[in-house]
Structure 1
Amino acid sequence: MNEPTTGGCQCGAVRYRIDQALENAHICHCRMCQKASGNYFLPLARASKASLTITRGEVGWFHSSDVVRRGFCRSCGTPLFFDVVDRDSINVVLGALDEPASVKPEFQCGPDEKMPWFGELDGMEPAADETSWYEAVAPSNHQHPDHDTDQWPVAGKK
């Protein structure tokens, strides 16, 4: 068996572990996934429900259709899961993984709703003040780190 895959929400209220290799990694451009993620696409990968363990907190659920529910953190709103309720598998949102770069999408869904200017992104210039902005935000960062913690938030930190 591969090492477990871990992930969770931005605030740390929900954490999970998957005890199998993720499969079927893809990017979905459909309008429903755009709305659910608040983004232009949603990267997902599949695992068996039996391999998923919620290690902290409780997942909130929204039925985006009669056959699909979407799991999220009720505290910070981070999208976490895409669950076709009558299947024994679940899709995890790749951006919520502790190591999101470890899973490379293999295909795309909903290409008709893909943003027409995506091909131009690599040609865009980076923001001029990007480094100073991230340095200014760093001391007050409340985001959960990309690994499991015994306790969160850390005592004395908001």
Structure 2
Amino acid sequence: MHNGSCLCGAVQIAVSVALPQPNACHCTACRKQTGHYGASVDLPRSAVRVSGEDHVKWYQSSDKVRRGFCDICGSTLFWDPVHHDWTAIAMGVFDGPTDTSLSLHIFVAEKGDYYAIADGLPQNER
């Protein structure tokens, strides 16, 4: 079980499965939403329990994706592809050890010019 929350604690998340390896997304939308780049892990919706759901607000960033955040503290929580049975949870949400590590970087063609990716992980242009 992995637990986590937003910054203020109004939204609590419990995950009932081991976390797979997350990715780091450098697309413009993720950078604008998070303030840097987004790191998230894809999980089946059936493995995720959310308390304080009334504080989760959704921004429909495209026809296929919505982004969830806490309406009190603004913490980035979810990247949710609405036509799939999984959701992505921001890695910063989790408390304590996650027992996982980044697998790759995506959308590096859109990364900011103020940082370098030097960890040796695979980098996908899109």
TM-score, structure 2 length as denominator? 0.84
Higher helix share: 1
Do the aligned residues in 2 keep the contact of 1:94 with 1:100 (CA within 8 Å)? no
Aligned partner letter, 2:110 = E
> Which residue matches 1:50?
46
Does 2:110 align with 1:113? yes
Gaps of 5+ in 1: 122-158
In 2, distance between residues paired with 1:101 and 1:22? 7
Structure 1 vs Structure 2 CA RMSD = 1.9
Query: 4+ residue runs of structure 1 moved beyond 4 angstroms?
Result: none
Q: Corresponding residue for 1:85?
A: 82
Summarize the Cα distance change of 1:98–1:63 in structure 2 as closer, same or farther, 3 Å threshold.
same
Q: Percent identity?
A: 32
State the TM-score, normalizing by the size of structure 1.
Answer: 0.68
State which structure, 1 or 2, has the greater radius of gyration over its C-alpha atoms. Answer: 1
Q: Which amino acid aligns with 2:68?
A: G
Q: Distance in 1 between matches of 2:30 and 2:103?
A: 17
Question: Are residues 117 and 74 of structure 1, via their aligned partners in 2, closer, same or farther at CA, if it must alter by over 3 Å?
Answer: closer
Counting strand residues as a fraction of each chain, which structure ranks higher? 2
Task: Indicate if the aligned counterparts of 1:94 and 1:103 stay in contact, CA closer than 8 A.
Answer: no
The answer as to 2:5 corresponding to 1:11 is: no
* Per-residue Cα deviation, 1:48-83 (whole angstroms, up to 9, x for no partner): 001111133421111111110111100000000000
Gap change, CA 1:90 and 1:120, over 3 Å in 2: closer
Could you tell me how far apart the structure 1 residues matched to 2:117 and 2:15 are?
A: 35
Residue deviations 1:110-149 (CA, integer Å, cap 9, x gap) = 111223342399xxxxxxxxxxxxxxxxxxxxxxxxxxxx
CA 1:55–1:105 in structure 2 vs 1: closer, same or farther (change >3 Å)? same
Which of 27, 30, 36 in structure 2 is aligned with 1:30? 27
